[in-house]
Amino acid sequence: MAGSAVILDPQNSSSDEYSNNNRFALISLTSLFFMWGFITCLNDILIPYLKGMFDLNYTQAMLIQFCFFGAYFIVSLPAGAIVGRLGYKMGIVLGLSIASIGCLLFYPAAEIGVYALFLFALFVLATGITILQVSANPYVSALGPSNTASSRLTMTQAFNALGTTVAPFFGAWLIFSGAEHVEPSNASAVQLPYVAISLTLIVLAIIFSRLKLPHLGKSQQTQISPAIALKYSHLRLGAIGIFLYVGAEVAIGSFLVNFLSEPNIAGIGESEAVQYIAYYWGGAMVGRFIGAAVMQHVAANKVLFVNALCSVLLIIMAISLDGTLAMWSILCVGLFNSIMFPTIFSLAINQLGDATSHGAGVLCLAIVGGAILPLLQGILADIVGVQLSFILPVFCYVFIIYYGLSGYQPVAISRELSEEKNHEIS
């Protein structure tokens, strides 16, 4: 990555071997993006399942996302420091191991049948996912030229979206079957799926511990304060963009089942509505493959601007219309969400130099938007109804429009900031 201390070490290998190592590393990393996309999307199915099981209102049900994404806020900066010390590869192994433990905790939570234990299990699971995010996203960015980092991240994120596309069918089959008539004392439907996921994560951890991946050279980046990274305006604005984007995307996904169940929208049962989540996340998958190709030729910020604008228009249609048009308008937002996270992420860490590692930690910290905004939309839904509550994501995408227009631009650092960075290193 140009201008960054996160560099690849070819270790005296030939250029062909170096390129093959990079390609193998990218292929290996895509499995991680798939798994955490799969796991995250299962939350959209857990929400209506546990809402019915424990007789929760919308605000209480959104505590699922609050606990899951709240882990990003608590864990991201420590994770950045841990990954800086252990290295990206061992950070991946650690993240997989902790996520596996979180999945196993679903078994006793279901046996006891206490909502708070489900929330704790989700927090532990998300802690592992956070460490994976801090490790894998900068790794992908560094595996090649900086001018195509957005394209690489978008391509790997496409497999993240593949996981979110497959998860609704998996959840509808194993978790949500008969959930509309579930008894509050019976949560056994979640035990088998999450134990199976736990075993898969353990297998991945063992595999990654033995893989020979390209070395990302260590440097003074581990000694740079996060406060230095935050002095870059495009990083600060990018962090806000990540906060609002993740919050909007998660809020929309969290309310899809309830939105489609509304009599004036589709009027379908929850077990059937669950399967429509696949269209939302499937659109994101298709859009990421398209976006990865488009951004080889079109500036990433321009693609971000267009996608955010389309998202605003689609959500306004979903709020103001009824029936099939409203249903497909909200589902199509997934297509335009596709490139937003990897594009904002790569634009925000551009030209951070030695502060790249902590910059990535700050951006992962901002994923806490997935905890806050769904909860706020839950409060809105309890007050004004599910359909009108979608006005909240509209304001989120308006900010992303601004970031794509001008907020993404790196500002040349001042002499004072440069001296402060040198002082931190020394």
DSSP state string for 349-398: TTT-GGGHHHHHHHHHHGGGHHHHHHHHHHHHHHHH-TTGGGHHHHHHHH
What whole-number distance in Å separates Cα of residue 108 and Cα of residue 118?
9
Residue 424: predicted pLDDT: 47
Q: What is the pLDDT of residues 253-295, one digit of tens each?
A: 999 999 999 999 988 887 788 888 889 988 888 888 888 788 8
Residue 177: predicted pLDDT: 58
| 11-25, 241-255, 410-424: which is most confident | 241-255
Candidates 303, 325, 305; CA nearest to 315 is 325
Q: Per-residue pLDDT for 16 more than 80?
A: no
Residue 9: predicted pLDDT: 42
What's the whole-number mean pLDDT along residues 66-80?
Answer: 85
Report the amino acid identity of residue 338. Answer: S
What whole-number distance in Å separates Cα of residue 64 and Cα of residue 60?
8
Q: Per-residue pLDDT for 5 more than 80?
A: no
Confidence of residue 384 (pLDDT cuts 50, 70, 90): very high
Structure tokens at 425: 């290193």
Where do the structural domains in the chain lie, given as residue ranges? 8-425
Q: What residues pair up with 9 in beta bridges, in sequence order? A: 215
Residue 178: predicted pLDDT: 47
For the structural domain made of 8-425, what CATH number should be given?
A: 1.20.1250.20
Among the listed ranges 217-226, 345-354, 383-392, which one has the minimum average pLDDT value? 217-226
Residue 4: predicted pLDDT: 33
What residues contact 356, with CB distance under 8 A and at least 6 apart?
Answer: 1, 4, 5, 6, 138, 221, 349
Check: CB of residue 119 under 8 Å from CB of residue 128: no
- pTM of the predicted model as reported, rounded to 2 decimal places: 0.77
CA atoms within 13 Å, Cβ hemisphere of 238 = 30
185 vs 133: which has the higher pLDDT? 133
Check: CB of residue 386 under 8 Å from CB of residue 262: yes
Report the amino acid identity of residue 111. Answer: E
Report the amino acid identity of residue 16. Answer: D
Q: What is the pLDDT of residues 178-226, one digit of tens each?
A: 444 444 445 677 888 899 899 999 998 998 888 776 665 443 344 445 5
Residue 201: predicted pLDDT: 92
Helices (H), 215-355: 226-229, 233-261, 270-294, 300-320, 323-337, 340-348
37 vs 360: which has the higher pLDDT? 37
Residue 37: predicted pLDDT: 86
Residue 217: predicted pLDDT: 47
Average pLDDT over all residues of the chain: 81
Residue 230: predicted pLDDT: 74
Candidates 368, 398, 75, 124; CA nearest to 246 is 368
What whole-number distance in Å separates Cα of residue 324 and Cα of residue 260?
10
Residue 366: predicted pLDDT: 87
What's the whole-number mean pLDDT along residues 374-388?
Answer: 95
Candidates 302, 106, 131, 286; CA nearest to 205 is 131
Check: CB of residue 381 under 8 Å from CB of residue 255: yes
Helix (H, G, I), strand (E, B) or coil at 74: helix
Residue 414: predicted pLDDT: 47
Residue 147: predicted pLDDT: 63
Expressed in percent and rounded to 5, the helix, strand and coil fractions of the chain are 80, 0, 20
Residue 272: predicted pLDDT: 81
232 vs 198: which has the higher pLDDT? 198
Among the listed ranges 20-24, 161-165, 234-238, which one has the minimum average pLDDT value? 20-24
Confidence of residue 30 (pLDDT cuts 50, 70, 90): confident
220 vs 301: which has the higher pLDDT? 301
Q: What is the pLDDT of residues 162-180, one digit of tens each?
A: 888 888 887 777 665 544 4
